[in-house]
Amino acid sequence: MKFKNILYIVTLSILLLASCQSFEDLQFDPNRPVQAEPGLILTSIEANAFSTVSAGAALASRQLIYTNSISDNQYYGWQRGSFGDYDQLRQVSKLSEEAERTDNNSYRALAIFFRAYYIIRLTNTFGDVPFSEAVKGGEGNFLPVYDTQESIFTKVLEDLKTANSLMGSESGEILGDIIYNGNQDKWKRLINSFALRILMSMSIKTDNPTLNIKGKFTEIYNNPSTFPLLRGNQDNGALVFLDVEGNRYPFFNSNELKTAYYMEKSFVDMLKARKDPRLFVYADKTANGSNLDDRDFNAYEGMGGAEPLAENTNQILSGDGSPIDRRYHSDPENQPSLLMGFAELSFTIAEAAHRGWITANAADHYHEGIRASMLFNSIGNSDIDAYITQEAVQYSAETGLMKILEEKYISLFMNTGWEAFYNQRRTGIPAFSLSNQIVNPGGVPKRWMYPQNEIQLNLNNMNEALQRQFAGNDDINAEMWLLNP
């Protein structure tokens, strides 16, 4: 009896330690949700899409130089680009699904807009890229064909019109909106302004009758009630940085930006030539000029982006190089990051007016752009007025295009992604310096090669696109459709 008791007690207590749960209960992950509200997806898309501050673009656009090594951006040694934006297109496609599920036209319009934004970024980088069959892995398509750049631009312009018509005060509440806080009207303005940017980016194709760029530009510009546009910096498509972990200015506390990024000579000289006060907020004084007044143009010097690295380093070591302004690495909020700002829109309209696409006063829009850019950089109105009245800044029919594009170029410093570079690629303004230090024998590259992964994972479609565009060569100097008159 005693022995049996021991046996029972011990056996029972051991078995109690074994656990048995139902396998169905263990199929729920307590750490991750399987369904999302559209607003939650929107927040992450916005945080990515509007984060456009790129030091690499400033190097390639001869606004900054880099001293830690021979930078591929500065010396044009780049080769392959990245398809990382397709990751974001996946989020956009989820937003689109959730918009359908919740039957919300605002989210539908936003999904269309962001899809347009990312695919344009991709096609600007490479040329033809997958679009119509892209982001369909969930449906089993892992080998999407590449669409022609022409078809992508055509489709995007149609889509943006749709987005504009879907978006409105009655189109549904937008939650999780860290840009416009759910203001449908402002979104409408951004969507239409973005369409104007795309049309202007196709200026080389002005004479293509099927594209009808002029007509499309006019249609939007002339119908502000249907196609409202940004009205000022208050409408900027801007991500405002916050002094909270993960939300700070991307280069806040960056030691590299602090010690290895300096101003480029042609850019500094351009600002000096027109006595542009933005130099004082873009750059810091040189070591040798540290005793001069902050507003003394002689306190600022740049280094040639095409000069040998060692020479630039030596110029800095001898105290004659201006670093980038300290606010870019010391102010956690600094300035907002723009997907598209009012200044850029103004210059785009000014250029359209100059080209005769629309009936408008180019000079007015040109001045509006300058003012918006200066205000964005916290320059006072009296300085702005003084600047605009200068001879060197005056708009004229002869030099107008150059003036507009130079001002646009200045306004895009450390903002709006690679727009400064793409505008230069389209117009050649301003000229970028070259020398025998440049890695690419062809000078300023026109594009990036397709990513290595495509060779392993989507080779036939990539090769077909290369054959179609560049006789099979994946060449950084090849001119994509957009750049061919």
**Closer to another protein by Cβ: residue 392 or 457:** 457
- Can you read off the two tokens belonging to residue 410? 């200045």
The site map against another protein for 245-284 (x = CB under 8 A) is: xxx----xxxxx-xxx------------------------
The helix or strand, by DSSP H or E, that contains position 372, with its residue range, turns out to be: helix 362-376
Answer yes or no whether residue 5 interacts with another protein by CB under 8 A. Answer: no
| Alpha helix segments (H runs only) across 18-131 | 38-49, 55-60, 85-102, 105-126
Identify the residue among 8, 9, 87, 380 touching another protein (CB under 8 A).
87
Backbone angles phi and psi of 439, in degrees to 5: -70, -40
Identify the residue among 6, 103, 391, 485 touching another protein (CB under 8 A).
6
**Closer to another protein by Cβ: residue 24 or 391:** 24
| Interaction residues for another protein, span 208-237 (CB under 8 A) | none
Least distance (Å) from another protein to the CB of residue 313? 5
Residue 237, CA distances (Å) to 29, 189, 194, 243, 417 in order: 37, 9, 10, 20, 13
Q: Is 62 left (phi over 0), alpha (psi -120 to 50) or beta?
A: left
Answer yes or no whether residue 59 interacts with another protein by CB under 8 A. Answer: no
d(CA 86, CA 454): 13
| Interaction residues for another protein, span 360-379 (CB under 8 A) | none
Answer yes or no whether residue 483 interacts with another protein by CB under 8 A. Answer: no
381: amino acid identity, one letter: N
**Closer to another protein by Cβ: residue 378 or 453:** 453
- Can you read off the two tokens belonging to residue 159? 């889509």
Kindly state the number of chain residues that form the binding site for another protein, as judged by CB under 8 A. Answer: 100
Answer yes or no whether residue 166 interacts with another protein by CB under 8 A. Answer: no
Point out which residues pair with 337 in neighbouring strands.
239
**Closer to another protein by Cβ: residue 30 or 209:** 30
**Closer to another protein by Cβ: residue 120 or 379:** 120
- Can you read off the two tokens belonging to residue 213? 């760029």
| Alpha helix segments (H runs only) across 177-254 | 184-201, 213-221
**Closer to another protein by Cβ: residue 113 or 146:** 146
d(CA 122, CA 132): 14
Applying CB under 8 A, which part among 9-17, 208-216, 334-342, 352-360 lies near another protein? 9-17
**Closer to another protein by Cβ: residue 50 or 221:** 50
Applying CB under 8 A, which part among 65-73, 347-355, 404-412, 417-425 lies near another protein? 65-73
Least distance (Å) from another protein to the CB of residue 194? 21
Identify the residue among 9, 68, 392, 442 touching another protein (CB under 8 A).
68
Answer yes or no whether residue 244 interacts with another protein by CB under 8 A. Answer: yes
d(CA 10, CA 216): 85
Least distance (Å) from another protein to the CB of residue 182? 12
Neighbours of 421 (CB within 10 A): 24
Applying CB under 8 A, which part among 89-97, 213-221, 355-363, 364-372 lies near another protein? 89-97
Identify the residue among 70, 273, 386, 392 touching another protein (CB under 8 A).
70
**Closer to another protein by Cβ: residue 325 or 454:** 454
Least distance (Å) from another protein to the CB of residue 433? 14
d(CA 153, CA 199): 9
Least distance (Å) from another protein to the CB of residue 86? 4
The site map against another protein for 435-474 (x = CB under 8 A) is: -xxxx-x-------x-xxxxxxxxx---x-----------
| Interaction residues for another protein, span 292-351 (CB under 8 A) | 308-310, 313-314, 317, 323
d(CA 22, CA 99): 35
Burial grade of 362 (CB within 10 A; 0-12, 13-18, 19 or more): buried
d(CA 358, CA 218): 6
Those residues with Cβ within 8 angstroms of residue 110's Cβ, 6 or more apart along the chain or in another chain:
42, 95, 99, 163, 167, 174, 187
Identify the residue among 101, 185, 222, 242 touching another protein (CB under 8 A).
242
| Interaction residues for another protein, span 123-162 (CB under 8 A) | 129-130, 134-138, 141-144
d(CA 76, CA 322): 22
Answer yes or no whether residue 36 interacts with another protein by CB under 8 A. Answer: yes
Identify the residue among 150, 154, 178, 204 touching another protein (CB under 8 A).
178
Least distance (Å) from another protein to the CB of residue 284? 10
- Can you read off the two tokens belonging to residue 274? 């027109």
d(CA 40, CA 176): 6
DSSP 304-325: -TTS-HHHHHHHHHTT--PBBP
d(CA 417, CA 237): 13
d(CA 150, CA 148): 5
Answer yes or no whether residue 75 interacts with another protein by CB under 8 A. Answer: yes
Applying CB under 8 A, which part among 52-60, 75-83, 295-303, 369-377 lies near another protein? 75-83
